[in-house]
Amino acid sequence: MKSFIQYEENSDFSIYNIPFGVGIFSDDEIACVTRIGDTVVNLAVLYENGYFEEFNLGENVFEAFTLNEFISLGKSVTVPVREHIQKLLLEGSELSKDEETQLEAFHNIEKVSMQLPVHVPNYTDFYSSIEHATNVGKMFRDPDNALLPNWKHLPVGYHGRASSIVVSGTPIYRPKGQTMPPNADKPVFGPSQRLDFELEMAFITNSYTDLGETISTTEAEDHIFGMVLFNDWSARDVQKWEYVPLGPFLAKNFGSSISPWIVTLEALDPFRVNGPEQEPEVLPYLKYEGKKNFDIHLQTLIQPENGEENLICTSNFKYMYWNMAQQLAHHTVNGCNLEVGDMYASGTISGKTEDSFGSMLELTWSGSKPLKLKDGSERKFIEDNDTVIMRGWCEKDGIRIGFGEVSGKILPAKD
C-alpha cells in the first residue's frame, strides 16, 4: 500500500498502522484523530464531510473528548472503519483529490496537543514477565526459589489507580511516603529516594459485561480494542515498606504514563509470535490456541535535564509469560465485569539479558551496579528533572508500525 501523504520510511505511523487518539487543535477544537507520518487527521471533519456515510455511526462519534463511544461500537464497526480510513489515505482515493477537506482535516503533529485517548474507568496491573518476577524474587526472597508458588499457575495482578494515569509529556512529581531506612527501628517520612520506572504495555477493552459474566481466552481479543505503551512509575523504598500483606499502594498510585496513540490488534496481527512454553500445564480456563504474543521491540531511555538521551534498556513484548487473552480470562473468571476504556498493564517487560531488564531496580540490581550516563553522571534510580522515554515498534518484511513514545519528566516533590 502507498499513501498520498508523504512520510519517512522509518515512521511508526505508516499506512499499515492507522492508530487512534484524541487531539486538541490550535483553535481549541478537540476531536478523535488518526495519524500517518507527521500528519494528524481529524476524523470528525471526515465524518462531517460525508466520508463515513456507509457506516451506522449515529451522531458524529468522533466529535468527542475520548474514544470511549467509538470503541464501544465493537469490532464489527471499528475494524471496517479503520480499514475504510486506510483506503481513504491511499493514492488515488476520493480523499486524495479533495483538497478542501484535506485543508480542514489535516494538521502537522507539532501543532496538535495529544490528550489521554480514553476515559479509564478501571486499571489493573499484571506481573506477567517471568524474567522480571525471577529477578525481584532473587533480590528480595530466596534466590533458589525466586518465584512464589502461585506464579506459574495464574497471571498475578492488582487493581491500581485509574485517576492518576496521564498522557505522555505530563510531568510527574516525586512521591512522598513512609520508608524504613536500613538498620532503623522506625519508619521516616519524606520524598522517595528510589524512584523507578517500569517498562510495560497495556491493552484497552471495548465492551461492558455484566457481573457474573466470564470471558474465555478464545473470546478475549474480541474485547480488546488496542494497546499503548505504559510506564508504571514506582517508588521502590515506599513499596518495600508498605507492600506486605496487601501489595502496592502509595508506591504506585501517584502516577502512570501512557503513549497517546492506541494501536489496534488488527494492525499488530502480522507480528504475532508464539509465547514461551508454560510449565506446569495451566488450568483449562487459561488454555488457548494460536499465537497470542506479539513481537514488539521496546526501548527505555533516560534524558537528564538539558542533556542527551541515554539508551539503558532494549526489551521485547514477546517475552511475556502470560498473554493478554489469559490475563483477561483470569480477570473475569470470578465474574468481574468489564467497562469500556478499562486499562490492563502487562507488568514490567524484562528479557534474559541484563540490558533487557525493564526497570532500574533490575538494571542496577537494587542500586548496587549504578548506570553511567553519557555526561559522566551515574544513576541508581531516577533523579529529579530526569525524563524517562519509552518507545515501541514492530518491523517485518519492510513493514513498520509503532506506538511513538511515552515520556515523563520527574519534578521535585511538592512541599
Catalytic residues: 132
Which DSSP helix (H) or strand (E) runs through 393? strand 387-396
Half-sphere exposure of 339 (CA within 13 A, CB side): 11
Core vs surface per residue 347-382: b (16+ CB within 10 A) or e: bbbbbeeeebbbbbbbbbbbeeeebebeeeeebbbb
Give the C-alpha separation, 25 to 394, whole Å. Answer: 29
Residues 6+ apart with CB under 8 A from 273: 291, 293, 294, 295, 318
Q: What is the DSSP string of 213-224?
A: ----TTTGGGGE
Which residues are bridge partners to 12 per DSSP? none
Vertex 124 angle, CA 166 and 249, to 5°: 80
Strands in 44-194 per DSSP E: 106-108, 113-114, 123-126, 157-159, 165-167, 172-173, 176-179, 188-191
Give the C-alpha separation, 122 to 163, whole Å. Answer: 9
Residues 6+ apart with CB under 8 A from 50: none
Residues 6+ apart with CB under 8 A from 146: 133, 134, 135, 136, 137, 138
Q: Which of 247, 248, 348 is nearest to 298 (CA)?
A: 348
Backbone angles phi, psi at 278, to 5 degrees: -100, 115
